[in-house]
Amino acid sequence: MIYDYSDFPNMIHYAVNNLKTFEEDPVNEVDCLIFSWLVYINFHENNDIVYLKKGLPLKKLLMAEYFDEMFDKIWSPEETFVLLAICASSPRFRDVVLRYYRNEIITDINLQFAAVVFSVSDEYHVIAYRGTDWSITGWKEDALMALDNPIPAQKMAETYLNEVSAVCSGRYTVAGHSKGGTIAVFASSHCRNEIQDRIDRIYSFDGPGFTKNELRYPGYLKIKERIVKFVPQSSYFGYLFEDDSTVRIIHSNEISVMQHNPLSWKIVDNALFINQEKNPVSEVINHRIKLFIDSLDESQRRVVIQTLFDILMELKVGSIDEIINEPAKYFISLIRIVRNMDEEHRTVVKQLIRLILISRYVDDIDLSKINDVSIELKDDNIDYEKYLSHFIR
């Protein structure tokens, strides 16, 4: 086999091995995960026809002259390229038509949005929403979901679903990874009633939840039983905010925040492999994050969000992956910035930073020592890794 993932079968392994057409084997959750991942690719630099109703078959997307643009600044570009190449040659995926692609990033209003329709046939479509990319704009928009007002991407997702449903006949599955899962649920909750009636399933792949007010919205209550949410065993992305939909805990071979990457999720028998229970430390951290968010009123939440992203600007962070890959590089500068805040802001931001730091090591934390961890902002010569070592096994 050219690409052997048999030791840990993921969605690439699935794409290699499931060669049945969609007529022989209807759309399943793994297909929707693949579509939710492929929407991260920058199709707009590829071919204008992807924007249109006619669309472009997946097998025609492999044009080497556009590869640099297609895979620039996306999650796991090498493996995503492999996945696209396999799908483009697979009898299951190669004739799927991509149409009505839309991609918008508007920094001034904190908007990062992309979506595309994957038409499996003339009468069945998967509408996939892109999750958060590495941009600061995208992550700030994620944070704004802690407020009651819909974020710009949610409103655009609703408009998009209404528009494409008017020109694509038949039935739908709506899906997305990370923020894409959240806006898939939001769009399905707020779209027109006749469109809701044509939706078979809504998949949220480790997407954050909502405010309590959104969970009481009539449109949400109407489609609630059709929502399926998948979160890996040590997830905290998928447990941010409130959620009362069906949640299935799945298995990842990564640790901590890296479990958010679906390429680490195990696939067995054409389905995501279900874990029996969640990491207990992750549950404690998720509970504390929720308590922290609930302790703030909306104006305080807005101030905290703005403060955190002002810090990122002051640190000259170009994208979030820079912090994930090299946290120690920014840690000393972060301490200096927080020390210079007024007392009220400093106290709140310290609590949030502490939770973020702990979550990075969620798989290595001794649960009995979790209460011993505190942020001390006194020593400019602090060793980042050494500082955390007293609660790492």
**16-49 pLDDT, tens per residue?**
999 999 999 999 999 999 999 999 999 865 456 6
Number of domains in the chain: 2
Rounded to 5 degrees, φ, ψ at 255 are -120, 155
Domain end marker among 278, 298, 333: 278
Three-class SS of residue 240?
A: coil
| Secondary element (H or E) of residue 141 | helix 136-143
Domain end marker among 278, 296, 326: 278
User: Are β-strands 227-232 and 199-205 bridged in parallel, bridged antiparallel, or unpaired?
Assistant: parallel
Other C-beta atoms within 10 Å of 220: how many? 19
Name beta bridge partners: 231: 249
Q: What is the mean pLDDT of residues 333-362?
A: 66
pLDDT for 142 equals 67
Measured over all CA atoms, what is the biggest interatomic distance in the chain, rounded to whole angstroms? 64
* Same domain for 273 and 294: no
Residue 6, domain member (yes or no) = no
Give the pLDDT band of residue 51 (cuts 50, 70, 90): low
- The residues, any chain, with a CB within 8 Å of residue 300's CB and separated by 6 or more, are 348
pLDDT for 332 equals 63
* Same domain for 169 and 21: yes
Helix, strand, coil abundance in the chain, percent, nearest 5 = 50, 15, 35
Give the pLDDT band of residue 330 (cuts 50, 70, 90): low
pTM for the model stands at 0.81
| Secondary element (H or E) of residue 234 | none
Domain end marker among 278, 304, 324: 278
**Residue 291: domain span:** 282-391
